[in-house]
Structure 1
Amino acid sequence: MKQLTELQNWLKEQRIEGAFITSTANVYYLTGFRCFPHERLLGVFVFAEQDPILVCPGMEVHQARTAGWEGEILPFSDTDHPWDLIAQRLPESFRDATLSIAVEKEHLSYARGMQLLALFPNATLVSAEHQLNEMRVLKTPEELAILRKAAALADYGVEVGVQTIAKGVSELELVAAVEQAVKKRGASEMSFATTILTGANSALPHGKPGLNEIQPGDFVLFDLGVVVDGYCSDITRTVAYQHVSDKQREIYETVRAAQQASLDASKPGSRIGDIDLAARRVIENAGYGDYFPHRIGHGLGLDVHEHPSLNATNQEALKAGMVYTIEPGIYVPEVGGVRIEDDVYITENGHECLTKFTKELTIIK
């Protein structure tokens, strides 16, 4: 795969002898094999001058081959000690030499880091995160096509949820309706735990759905995403049930204006921090600055939260091919909360919203 070649070229340029990549997302990115091994070891050794080796549970070998991995596989059973097998397979010279090994420092556990260093006692662990982030941040046409499908399914999920709203329906009933619908249409899983909040609960940015029932005058906030072929979507829409107060309408329209300001700033060359500040200024000028407690968004792809972080201090520039979320919100205790979120693709000249569900204030009668 070209991703493996690119990583190998980076290893050569940086004079790093090898990398051991262990996160599900990055193993999938490099090998095409997506696996959730639970407590078992999963990883791919990528060498500057040798062919890579995939380490995975023996019961997953068939799936790795079916996924298209043609390289060497080092399988192990539940009664094996995989690090002993790795020690037998890797070249003796690697254990004796002073090496640099690139790892995902934010993912590799302390225990596995120690096990790796036990095999390579003279090695220095260096970070592979920056390089992998730089590789993943610009989506290929093939990746974009999958992200479009995931975004369309997220739109459908919101549509089903809105159609299910009725007096007395609980948050968890809405969650069940949404998840059943999108999975019937091909979502392999949700990108994260579906969040549907009503009434005062909607003022909790990361609230947990429960048996709270919809009442007239409630905001109903939908935050959901699906996974299609390994790629995630993430959408938030907020609607109202039966009627809204002037205060609620003001909050909603402020959030909508804030999101539009960020979208207007989304184009190649823009400073990422300015995307956050564009929305934040609108919300602050309306007097709700204290009720917008989070960044404007995050990168999106194989992980639902990935590089870059769209916060006010980020000095990086947007580049064509990036995909990220824009999700301003206002959360007023006892009144309710509004968040509007889209998945945004940076084009050569501007941006495109991959999620399409209406952002007009919708009042369900």
Structure 2
Amino acid sequence: MPWEAWPEGGFPRFSEGEREARREKLAALMAENRVDRLVVYGTWGSGDAVHWLSGWPVSREAAAVWAPGEAAKLFVQYRNHVPTARRAVAPEVEVAWGGPWTAEAVGGELLRRGGSGQRVGVVGPLPAPAWNHLAAEVREVVDLTAGYTRLRLVKSPEEVAWLRKGAALTDRAVRGLEANLRPGVSEFELVDAIERAYVPYGGMTHIHYLSVTSPSAPDRCVPSQFPSPRRVRPGDVVTCELSAAYWGYPGQVLRTFVVGTELPTEVRELHRVVEDAFHAAIRALRPGLRAEELGHALEVVRRSGFALCDDLVHGFGGGYLPPVLGAEGFWTLAHASLELQPGMALVVQPNVVTPDERFGVQTGELVVLDHGGPEFVHRYPRGLRLVG
């Protein structure tokens, strides 16, 4: 039975008002940087701007050409993806095949619209050969990706509503994992169970990372990006990082499970530290906070004698966003000085590991910052999970 949030026979779309507000933000970014037209680029798994502008979540590769007062034209790869893209995009977007080389199609469209004298802004991970091709066609090409990223930090109410739907689907994913955790099941079979839990409800796969290891002879400290044939044995520890998405808007849940009837002492100790770090970060989150003030949550881990092998906090919803606070601190000074605002979506996800990185646990989830602090959008229970 399809999930009720999906339109009958179609694809989810944001409202006309939401789409117009996005175009206004892009127009302001273009005016600030004195560019005549914008090229928005994305590939499968990298670059969210195409989806944000056009409504197409990018199946393989896509690039849009746009300027204020003009309709966006979206070039899609591959040829057989064009019919679906035409059904999925916003009604004001024109869709065409990108031809043998998308950059050549984009360059031709730029020349058709504005000639060779224009200054063009690019958003997204445009490959160097494509960049060089466009630079040879027009007067100047400049990178506006950082400016676009700033636009994405604060989510609109409609985006938050979609993130809630992604969170509900992700909760289903974690429940599907828990329901199938038993001795003898393989990591491959667990991933199958995870997907079966949300796909019937309209969920899209974002990530499903997991690892199985024995606390008596551990060799995994973080959820693995790729499953293996390894089978669960009594007493094993299973860590996961799961994200199912509602049309490109995912939730995220990180949890640790013990398969058996007892919680090993080292698992208890690691998880006590991971929960202390999680709650230290959660208590600090509030509008007006400079991101660097979250650094005290790292000290919780450092004082314990354990270590981190993942970010403690990162922005989310529209990509892997600032502020990113990892074991070595913030990625950049700009991340550290970032002031948190209502509407920001953040994943708090401490991963506490032994210094030799042979064993670890993880907990966390997506929250949305409200005027009074963080709002939990997930309903799956927090804490270390013991399953039989």
TM-score interval, normalised by the smaller of the two chains = 0.7 to 0.9
Distance 1:66 1:203, change over 3 A: same
How far is the alpha carbon of 1:233 from its aligned partner? 1.8
Distance 1:47 1:338, change over 3 A: same
Q: Residue 191 of structure 1: which of 191, 199, 206 is its match? A: 206
SS at match of 2:115: helix
The answer for the alignment partner of 1:348 in structure 2 is 371
How far is the alpha carbon of 1:258 from its aligned partner? 0.9
The answer for the alignment partner of 1:46 in structure 2 is 66
Distance 1:256 1:8, change over 3 A: same
Distance 1:185 1:196, change over 3 A: farther
Conserved 8 A contact 1:203-1:331 = yes
- Structure 1: distance between partners of 2:106 and 2:154: 36
SS at match of 1:307: strand
- Structure 2: distance between partners of 1:8 and 1:235: 35
SS at match of 1:203: coil
How far is the alpha carbon of 1:119 from its aligned partner? 1.4
CA deviation string 1:271-298 (max 9, x = no partner): 21332x232111122221xx21332122
Identical residues among aligned pairs (%) = 23
- Structure 2: distance between partners of 1:81 and 1:270: 42
Quick check: 1:175 aligned with 2:195? no
Conserved 8 A contact 2:223-2:241 = no
Give the residue type in structure 2 aligned to 1:90: L
Quick check: 1:306 aligned with 2:313? no
The answer for the alignment partner of 1:152 in structure 2 is 168
How far is the alpha carbon of 1:10 from its aligned partner? 2.3
The answer for the alignment partner of 2:88 in structure 1 is 67
Conserved 8 A contact 2:86-2:94 = no
Quick check: 1:90 aligned with 2:106? no
How far is the alpha carbon of 1:309 from its aligned partner? 2.0
The answer for the alignment partner of 1:25 in structure 2 is 48
Distance 1:84 1:92, change over 3 A: same
Distance 1:271 1:118, change over 3 A: same
Q: TM-score scaled to structure 1, two decimals?
A: 0.87
Give the residue type in structure 2 aligned to 1:292: L
The answer for the alignment partner of 2:178 in structure 1 is 162
Conserved 8 A contact 1:197-1:222 = no
Q: TM-score scaled to structure 2, two decimals?
A: 0.82
**Segment drifting more, 249-258 vs 353-362:** 353-362
Quick check: 1:102 aligned with 2:102? no
SS at match of 1:310: strand
Q: Which runs of 5+ in 2 are unaligned?
A: 1-18, 331-335
Quick check: 1:230 aligned with 2:251? no
How far is the alpha carbon of 1:237 from its aligned partner? 0.4
Distance 1:287 1:80, change over 3 A: closer
Conserved 8 A contact 1:56-1:73 = no
- Structure 1: distance between partners of 2:222 and 2:106: 48
Conserved 8 A contact 2:243-2:252 = yes
Quick check: 1:328 aligned with 2:344? no
- Structure 1: distance between partners of 2:110 and 2:34: 22
Conserved 8 A contact 1:256-1:359 = no
- Structure 2: distance between partners of 1:235 and 1:174: 16
How far is the alpha carbon of 1:7 from its aligned partner? 0.8
Distance 1:74 1:144, change over 3 A: closer
The answer for the alignment partner of 2:13 in structure 1 is none
SS at match of 1:225: strand
Give the residue type in structure 1 aligned to 2:56: F
Give the residue type in structure 2 aligned to 1:56: V
Q: Residue 5 of structure 1: which of 24, 39, 42 is its match? A: 24
**Segment drifting more, 348-357 vs 9-18:** 9-18
Conserved 8 A contact 1:202-1:220 = no
Quick check: 1:259 aligned with 2:278? yes
- Structure 1: distance between partners of 2:308 and 2:322: 22
Conserved 8 A contact 1:268-1:317 = yes
CA deviation string 1:40-98 (max 9, x = no partner): xx211222565443333565554444335344636247468872685266348531x2x
- Structure 1: distance between partners of 2:368 and 2:102: 44
CA RMSD of aligned residues (A): 2.6
Number of aligned positions between the proteins = 352
